[in-house]
Structure 1
């Protein structure tokens, strides 16, 4: 089942590791370091080891030769991949790009990580499932994947290639992330409420809203424990997107017009 996070044991890690500073601990290469989860991993992992964090602009994982050169030069113990094409609707429009970024490039990364003796920690998603499992049961690691859209299919292809290369690599599936940095559902809801918009939110999709910082802490714990294979990581409990939106408004003391709608009726871009 999805790993339930205990936030009581988590402490602040201070400032991220500064480039060029020598310290004890493993060498860690972090990719996709400017995203929602990547920035949190930068802070948490930077307190533990010698961290080299790279954004997409600094290392595009679809540039296979550059990926190989970077891994050979840094010779990391761990490669943490937060880089992905996460625009679900965009993946439907750009299928080839989705499978390149989320699939083939991930397999290439796994191959070169193995060549330099590094363990890959690859971030994946609940979208590898169809969401049809009856509540309150959640998906566990042994449930067969059955993605419904291109995003989920491309992420599943990345998982397959990672474990095909080396079963000692680690895949962390998470879901419904929100945090201080990057785009997230709470920020989108807040923006619409402050603008006085009527907010329509689907009420028939359920998941576990998960604080990105807590996932970063759990990734570190899994790395320290030598975990491999597939692990599910989310916060406890579940709600619908509509319930999530209502809770956000209530916690912020905002009044707004938040209306439930079913998935089939939700306006698509």
Structure 2
């Protein structure tokens, strides 16, 4: 297949391209310099030039608190960028995969969110990603939406890297203990995405590593696996205020993924171990 991947310099886009390069595909990875997705003409021009069979759209405005302060900037990237890509895909007959987020849900559930659960984002980031989902559904018939959460990968900033840095600097950290979800290693997510785009199994999927934890439990496990002696103090959301509200419960059900015959992603603790080896922390 001829595949174009946006956001090649981000955590997920980097790993998707890395894995695709090792397979028998023609791969074009683009970042903002090569194709500004907020520029409709630039998107049209690049897609006409590359003529991909499939667009894997990993580029995103992911600064959750930044989005709260400048929703228009986030909307340009997450919503309009997705719209322009979908329109360009339609013009050349390509299919498209869009990476979305657990933040499309409000986070008040007590059991994992199914793919068809009503969306109700509580912040700007979630609203702009949901707008991107809706543009994709309106424009294309052949699309995949993959919602994920708590992403960590080699190429970019993430919670694991932040904890390792703070743990080494301070020896004591405070971490929110009342927000629950599932961490996701970009290598595992990239493998699923590559498997998915080679099928005609269109629709919405939830893909995170298996298992559930709080940010506090995640931090404790990071230090344990990295062999660092760090005191972790559990905090409430109220004790750690941020510009954007976070969902308290953002566990995503993998029922659709399994129903369609895909292998669930490994347990998050296994994924963390593989990641720490990749970044040479263990």
TM-score of the superposition, structure 1-length normalised? Answer: 0.87
Task: In structure 1, list runs of 5 or more residues that go unmatched.
Answer: 1-25
Distance (Å, rounded) in 2 between the aligned partners of 1:38 and 1:182: 11
Cα distance change, pair 129–60 in 1 and its aligned pair in 2 (3 A): same
Listed one character per residue, the Cα deviations across residues 87-106 of structure 1 (whole Å, up to 9, x for unaligned) are: 00000111111111111121
**Deviation at 1:41?**
0.3
1:44 to 9, 15, 19: 19
Cα distance in 2 for partners of 1:250, 1:183 equals 20
SS at structure 2 position matched to 1:225: coil
Please say if 1:113 is aligned against 2:58. no
Residue number in structure 1 paired with 2:112: 138
What is the CA–CA distance in structure 1 between the aligned matches of 2:140 and 2:241, rounded to whole Å? 42
Structure 1 contact 167–229 (Cα < 8 Å) conserved: no
Deviation at 1:227, TM superposition (A): 2.3
Gaps of 5+ in 2: 244-282
In 2, Cα distance between equivalents of 1:231 and 1:213: 17
> What is the number of residues matched between the two proteins?
242
Distance in 2, matches of 1:168 and 1:225, equals 11
String of CA shifts for 1:49-69, please: whole Å, max 9, x gaps.
100111122211001101100
Asked if 2 retains the 8 angstrom alpha-carbon contact of 1:246 and 1:258, the reply is yes
Report if the CA contact (8 A) 2:171-2:229 is conserved: no
SS of 1:52's equivalent in the other structure is strand
8 A Cα contact 1:163 1:229, kept in partner: no
TM-score when normalising by structure 2: 0.83
Q: 1:232 to 1:48 in 2, by over 3 A?
A: farther
- Give me the CA root mean square deviation: 1.1
Kindly tell me: are residues 184 and 35 of structure 1, through their superposed partners in 2, closer, same or farther at Cα, counting changes over 3 Å?
Answer: same
- Residue 109 of structure 1 deviates from its aligned partner by 0.9
2-structure distance, mates of 1:153, 1:197: 37
Structure 2 residue 157 is the aligned partner of structure 1 residue 183: yes
The answer to which of 40-49 and 208-217 deviates more is 40-49
